[in-house]
């Protein structure tokens, strides 16, 4: 497999010039990103991957104090910078954070569209995260050989993977997901939301983690006031979602969390 030579340095300079984040009024605030130190890798046994193939790939509990959606384009080098952060953040705050991934391959990025289908196909076998990591590590060689090598590395049933990747069902799912993301006002990756607050671009692990921690504190305050967790998260989303027509409705549609598994009676 060819090892990706990411153009991170050039891309970060471009992002620093145009880095933006959505404020609570839906406007845009600028500012250069801070130093992007990668997260210190930790792992928590409390954090589980969602394996429901009919729902978006996710890590962490449902419900959670902070619901994060990360929007990915596998050909976008800055999406590659988010690889460790999107996997790590649920382990950083076990039990409090859920991260979900949505695909938004840019028009004109055909390799990213094929990569998104590979990610969906891997998710059908409960192996989204290994595939996601592999695709983002090898962004300069998003072709059939890379997809097949990533599938083998993730220990997928390769025949089933090939069939799923070519299916019209997954192609329709990719297009529908991209259209829904764009209706929320996101035209390009990378981007992410924290309980509905929209951030365009990528600053650093420090800024990302700090934003998540602040949102945790906001939800904790609502819980202390007597709100239940689902209500507290809804209130934060109502406060955070950009103030534009239908934005809250679209965000609600984006949060397609699988239902909480009922606890077994003792």
Cα separation, 219 vs 88, whole angstroms: 21
| pLDDT per position as a tens digit, 191-249 | 999 999 999 999 999 999 999 999 999 999 999 999 999 999 999 999 999 998 899 99
| Closest to 153 in 3D by CA, of 126, 137, 131 | 131
Residue 38's alpha-carbon distances to 49, 86, 200, in angstroms, are 22, 11, 19
Residue 256, pLDDT score = 56
Residue 18, pLDDT score = 33
Q: Determine contact, residues 233/96, Cβ cutoff 8 Å.
A: no
What is the number of residues in the chain? 266
Q: Determine contact, residues 68/99, Cβ cutoff 8 Å.
A: yes
- Give the number of C-alpha atoms closer than 13 A to the C-alpha of residue 260, restricted to the C-beta side: 9
Split at pLDDT 50, 70, 90, the class of 36 is low
Write out the E strands in the chain.
20-22, 28-30, 58-59, 66-72, 97-103, 191-194, 197-200
Query: How many CB atoms lie under 10 A from the CB of residue 80?
Result: 25
Cα separation, 76 vs 74, whole angstroms: 6
Helical packing angle, 83-92 and 205-224, nearest 10°: 30
- Give the number of C-alpha atoms closer than 13 A to the C-alpha of residue 190, restricted to the C-beta side: 26
User: Which range, of 109-118, 161-170, 248-257, averages the lowest pLDDT?
Assistant: 248-257
**DSSP three-state, residue 72:** strand
Beta bridge partners of 192: 70, 199
| Closest to 55 in 3D by CA, of 261, 254, 229 | 254
Kindly list the structural domains of the chain, giving each domain's residue range(s) and its CATH number in brackets, ordered by start.
56-254 (3.40.30.10)
Beta bridge partners of 72: 103
Residue 2, pLDDT score = 38
Residue 163, pLDDT score = 97
Beta bridge partners of 20: 30, 200
Split at pLDDT 50, 70, 90, the class of 148 is very high
| pLDDT per position as a tens digit, 47-92 | 999 889 989 999 999 999 999 999 999 999 999 999 999 999 999 9
Cα separation, 119 vs 115, whole angstroms: 6
Q: Determine contact, residues 94/46, Cβ cutoff 8 Å.
A: yes
Instruction: Say if residue 42's pLDDT is above 70.
Output: yes
The pTM (predicted TM-score) of the whole model is 0.82
Cα separation, 145 vs 53, whole angstroms: 24
């Amino acid at each position: 497999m060819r090892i990706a030579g990411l153009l991170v340095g050039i891309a970060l300079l471009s992002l620093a010039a145009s880095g933006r984040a959505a404020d609570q009024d839906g406007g845009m605030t600028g500012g250069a990103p801070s130093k992007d130190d990668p997260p210190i890798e930790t792992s928590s046994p409390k954090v589980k991957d969602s394996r429901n193939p009919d729902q978006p790939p996710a890590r962490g509990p449902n419900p959670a104090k902070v619901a994060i959606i990360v929007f990915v384009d596998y050909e976008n080098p800055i999406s590659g910078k988010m690889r460790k952060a999107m996997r790590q953040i649920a382990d950083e705050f076990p039990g409090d954070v859920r991260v979900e991934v949505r695909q938004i391959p840019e028009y004109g990025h055909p390799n990213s569209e094929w990569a998104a289908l590979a990610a969906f196909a891997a998710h059908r076998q409960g192996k989204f995260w290994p595939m996601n990591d592999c695709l983002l590590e090898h962004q300069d060689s998003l072709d059939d050989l890379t997809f097949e090598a990533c599938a083998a590395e993730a220990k997928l049933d390769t025949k089933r993977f090939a069939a799923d990747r070519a299916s019209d069902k997954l192609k329709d799912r990719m297009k529908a997901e991209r259209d829904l993301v764009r209706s929320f006002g996101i035209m390009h990756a990378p981007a992410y939301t924290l309980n509905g607050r929209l951030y365009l671009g990528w600053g650093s692990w420090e800024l990302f983690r700090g934003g998540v921690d602040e949102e945790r504190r906001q939800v904790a305050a609502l819980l202390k006031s007597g709100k239940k967790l689902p209500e507290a998260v809804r209130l934060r989303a109502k406060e955070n979602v950009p103030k534009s027509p239908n934005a809250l409705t679209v965000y609600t549609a984006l949060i397609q969390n699988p239902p909480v598994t009922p606890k077994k009676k003792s």
